[in-house]
């Protein structure tokens, strides 16, 4: 897109962004089906200046920067409990990797517990309510610990991660910035004291895996049909933004519900009994 000039279109970029995000909230597997079978016949009253599918695909890269700004300015409540993890974003099947050219020079081979894959790696930080706090996209061969210092701006409290984030240097750097990194220990490490609440939250850390599942299967941020790098980024940003609109997100559910507060008289009786016993 460097040096290109966008020709005048009767559709506004805000309309393009709205349709791009709406696709990730539906159950259509391809954007072409969503646009031609759902938008054109059903939403023309809301979007009177609709263009053809081919023209709309040409307009999508121009809304990338606005999507990034829109997603960045979406304010999320920062709690003192945060979870971090990474998930692979495959760009093609491994059998077709030798012939893949769309992301040539941008993607790398990476390996996780499932196996080898060609593509990117999406690093996520969420709060205890399952809301996105930060994310970063890197090649698949980048270590999970590398982007952490850039992602934790304004975070406080505790950050829970898996064993891939174990690093004394990273722990000290985050601690100086007011954030405590909590991870499980490896088998060859010495035993260390861990607070009971930290052990409980480490067991519940798998909730971020459910967030990854929602992003990939419900919001469809991953597929192998991309023909443009910019449209891939638009798809990723719109999918992340669509996730924020989900009415129910995976959460730790650590706050008490339907538990009525004790009446003040209970505390008065308790204090009086302590005074009598003394």
Strand pairing report for 81-90 and 116-127: antiparallel
Whether the CB-CB separation of 156 and 77 falls below 8 Å is answered with: no
How much is the pLDDT for 75? 61
- Of 55-59, 73-77, 136-140, 179-183, the range with the lowest mean pLDDT is 73-77
Which of 67, 92, 90 lies closest to 17 in space, CA to CA? 67
Whether the CB-CB separation of 250 and 211 falls below 8 Å is answered with: yes
**Is the backbone of residue 115 left (phi > 0), alpha (psi -120 to 50) or beta?**
left
Of residues 72 and 144, the one with the higher pLDDT is: 144
For the chain, the domains span: 13-72, 81-225
Q: Model's pTM, two decimal places?
A: 0.83
Q: Which two tokens stand for residue 266?
A: 């209970």
Of residues 206 and 5, the one with the higher pLDDT is: 206
Q: Which two tokens stand for residue 61?
A: 């890269």
In whole angstroms, give the CA distance from residue 174 to residue 152: 8
Tens of pLDDT, residue by residue over 238-270, are 999 999 999 899 988 776 555 455 455 433 433
Q: Which CATH number fits domain 81-225: 3.30.1490, 3.30.390, 3.30.420, 3.40.50?
A: 3.30.420
Q: With residue 67 as reference, give the H or E element that holds it.
A: helix 64-72
Tens of pLDDT, residue by residue over 39-75, are 999 999 999 999 999 999 999 999 999 998 888 877 6
What's the residue count for the chain?
A: 278
Strand pairing report for 108-111 and 116-127: antiparallel
Which of 130, 36, 89 lies closest to 221 in space, CA to CA? 89
Q: Give me the residue label for tokens 């409290």.
A: 157
Whether the CB-CB separation of 173 and 48 falls below 8 Å is answered with: no
* 9 CA to centre of own chain: 32
Whether the CB-CB separation of 122 and 86 falls below 8 Å is answered with: yes
Which of 104, 102, 60 lies closest to 227 in space, CA to CA? 102
């Amino acid at each position: 897109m460097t040096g290109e000039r966008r020709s005048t279109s009767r559709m506004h970029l805000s309309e393009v962004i709205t349709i791009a995000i709406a696709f990730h909230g539906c159950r259509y597997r391809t954007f072409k089906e969503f646009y031609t079978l759902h938008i054109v016949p059903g939403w023309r009253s809301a979007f009177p200046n609709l263009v053809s599918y081919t023209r709309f695909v040409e307009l999508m890269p121009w809304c990338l920067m606005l999507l990034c700004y829109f997603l960045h300015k979406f304010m999320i409540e920062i709690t003192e409990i945060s979870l971090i993890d990474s998930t692979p974003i495959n760009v093609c099947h491994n059998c077709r990797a030798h012939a893949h050219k769309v992301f040539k020079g941008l993607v790398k081979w990476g390996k996780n517990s499932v196996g080898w894959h060609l593509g990117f790696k999406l690093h996520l930080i969420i709060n205890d309510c399952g809301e996105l706090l930060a994310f970063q996209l890197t090649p698949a061969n980048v270590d999970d610990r590398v982007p952490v210092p850039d992602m934790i701006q304004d975070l406080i409290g505790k950050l829970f991660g898996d064993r891939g984030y174990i690093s004394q240097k990273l722990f000290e750097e985050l601690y100086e910035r007011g954030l405590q990194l909590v991870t499980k220990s490896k088998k060859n490490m010495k035993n260390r004291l861990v607070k009971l609440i930290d052990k409980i939250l480490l067991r519940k850390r798998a909730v971020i895996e459910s967030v990854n599942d929602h992003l990939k299967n419900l919001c469809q941020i991953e597929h192998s049909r991309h023909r443009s790098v910019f449209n891939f980024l638009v798809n990723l940003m719109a999918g992340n933004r669509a996730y924020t609109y989900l009415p129910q997100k995976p959460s730790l559910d650590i706050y008490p519900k339907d538990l009525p507060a004790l009446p003040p008289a209970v505390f008065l009786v308790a204090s009086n009994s302590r005074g009598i016993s003394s």
